[in-house]
Structure 1
Amino acid sequence: MTTRSVTHATFTLRRTYPVPARRVFAAFADPKRKAAWFNGPEEWGPDEHSFDFRVGGRETSRGGPPGGVVHTFNAIYHDIVENERIIYSYDMHLDDTRISVSVATLELRPKDGGTELVLTEQGAFLDGFDDAGGREQGTRDLLDTLGDFLAREAADA
């Protein structure tokens, strides 16, 4: 018999990007832009994505190391205020095992000629398969990747 458990945690991350809020928002709202930075490690290859960015819409991203465990992100968008806020809930799976359920809020605020992104996540981490520390680090890495993407996009403009 499997021992069941749930651990709750909240974390908040802040990043300031030297671009307007509309550019940061577009990196979350536009499917091609999001697919350019919202992925697993490069050695995994491209993720499979489905994307319906609207209130009530769903997003799925699935990928993993070749021949390894498949990581799946399933999100539902609950609130979208263009260039200001995105709220969504999501669950994560490793193969067929749900490892967490979370609510995430992204806030975009003008700061120093750019945009401050404030991400707050409230998570329920299930049965010891995941934890807040690992999720926070993974989210930090994604926000760094977002920053790299925004810098490349600005350089190409």
Structure 2
Amino acid sequence: MSERSALHATFTLERDYLVPPERTFSAWADPVSKSRWFAGVDADHALDFRLGGQEVTRGIGPDGWELTYTSTFHEIVPDTRIVYSSTLYGGTTLASVSLTTVEFHATDEGTRLVLTEQGSYLDAQEDPYWRERGTADQLAALATTLLRPDEE
């Protein structure tokens, strides 16, 4: 039997967007918009944005493994906060479990988004740095999506 391990990590990312919180929040709630910046073009993505609803993203990782990321929504406060828990599987192996809180704060220029994720990374299947870097990339893609005129 291989050795088991659990690595725990928390990160917080803050980003400013030049659109109001309603529009930033909408990019998380709308399935077409969310797929555009969150999942990527080669992924299978489904979003049921409601309390108890799920978001499922399936794709192939750089190592060729099938990745399945599933989230369940525990709190949705329109234009203010989203709280969800997630699992990531590589094939049939559980790689991580996390709790994420996304806050949307109005600023003079638009929105300050604060995302905090607390994770358990299991048996060295995923590295917390990879998750933080991937999440930062998604938030950069969100910025690009919010600049699109068809997102109005």
Which band: TM-score by shorter chain? over 0.9
Distance change >3 Å, CA 114–CA 136, structure 1 → 2: same
What one-letter code is carried by the residue in structure 1 that aligns with 2:60?
G
Q: Is the 8 A contact 2:61 2:67 kept in 1?
A: no
RMSD of aligned C-alpha atoms?
1.7
How many residues are matched? 152
Cα distance, 1:71 vs structure 2: 1.4
What's the counterpart of residue 54 of structure 2?
A: 58
SS in 1 for 2:120: strand
Give the Cα–Cα distance (whole angstroms) in 1 for the partners of residues 39 and 54 of structure 2: 17
SS in 2 for 1:113: coil
Is 1:109 the equivalent of 2:105?
A: yes
Alignment of 1:2-13 (within 5 A): 2-13=2-13
Cα distance, 1:97 vs structure 2: 1.1
What one-letter code is carried by the residue in structure 1 that aligns with 2:70?
N
**Superimposed CA distance per residue, residues 32-54 of structure 1 (whole angstroms, 9 cap, x where no aligned partner):** 111111124xxxx4211222111
What's the counterpart of residue 15 of structure 1?
A: 15
Cα distance, 1:67 vs structure 2: 9.4
Cα distance, 1:109 vs structure 2: 0.1
User: In terms of mean alpha carbon deviation, does 3-12 or 66-75 score higher?
Assistant: 66-75
- Please report the TM-score for the alignment, with normalisation by the length of structure 2: 0.93
Give the Cα–Cα distance (whole angstroms) in 2 for the partners of residues 153 and 37 of structure 1: 15
Is 1:75 the equivalent of 2:71?
A: yes
SS in 2 for 1:119: strand
Q: Residue 88 of structure 1 is aligned with which of 81, 84, 92?
A: 84
Q: Is the 8 A contact 2:57 2:70 kept in 1?
A: yes
**Superimposed CA distance per residue, residues 45-80 of structure 1 (whole angstroms, 9 cap, x where no aligned partner):** 421122211111111010125992111110000000
Give the Cα–Cα distance (whole angstroms) in 2 for the partners of residues 49 and 136 of structure 1: 20
Identity of aligned residues (%): 46
SS in 1 for 2:147: helix
Distance change >3 Å, CA 6–CA 153, structure 1 → 2: farther
- Please report the TM-score for the alignment, with normalisation by the length of structure 1: 0.91
Alignment of 1:29-48 (within 5 A): 29-40=29-40, 45-48=41-44
